[in-house]
Amino acid sequence: MRLDQQVCRERMTAARVGYLASTGSNLRPHVVPVTFAVVGDRIVTAVDQKPKSTIALRRLQNIAENPLVAVLCDNYDEDWRRLWWVRADGAGRMTDDQAAREMALTALASKYPQYRVDPPLGPTLVVTIRSLTGWQYGDQTDSEPPTARHQ
């Protein structure tokens, strides 16, 4: 069953993990899990200090070459009546603007306690949402409300 815009926004806002999909000039899809926050009509994320093999991340290069991205959140459950997903399609850009970066870090810290102690030091990505699409199994009225978790 297709989800309306309000439900899509609510589920995306509550989701703990998203998957950022990008493609660069090589046209190869690249998908990575990200922490993120929804702020108005934008999704914000930042590169944090968790160990990475390089700081020249493919996602950053891809977005510099092609700003079109998607962010997907979902809920999987063995009870398939609880399945849902929400996808935001939009345009991503890295920001050097200090006010935009502070807004993103504040939003991320309010969602993820880890960032209150150790805020991301890397680049900040802002995705302007152009469309939200979502789906769930059935109407889910006969079961508990779906959660915003990913297993």
| pLDDT tens-digit map of 83-106 | 999 999 999 999 989 999 999 999
Would residue 151 count as lying in a domain? no
Domain of 25 in residue numbering reads as: 5-136
Q: How far is 45 from 71, CA to CA, in rounded Å? A: 11
Question: Low-confidence residues of the chain, pLDDT below 50?
Answer: 142-146, 149-151
Q: Does residue 146 sit within a domain? A: no
15 contacts 86 by C-beta, under 8 angstroms: yes
> Is 49 within a domain?
yes
Kindly report the CATH number assigned to the domain that includes residue 98: 2.30.110.10
Spell out the residues 6+ positions from residue 1 whose beta carbon is closer than 8 angstroms to its own. Answer: 135, 136, 137, 138, 139
In a domain, 89, yes or no: yes
Give me the pLDDT at residue 13, please.
97
Phi-psi sector, 10: left (phi>0), alpha (psi -120 to 50), beta: alpha
In a domain, 147, yes or no: no
Write the burial class of residue 52 (CB in 10 Å: 0-12 exposed, 13-18 middle, 19+ buried).
exposed
Residue 56 within any structural domain of the chain: yes
Q: Given this model, what pLDDT does residue 35 score?
A: 96
Within a domain: residue 92?
A: yes
- Give the total number of structural domains in the chain: 1
Q: pLDDT value at position 87?
A: 98
| Domain assignment of residue 148, yes or no | no
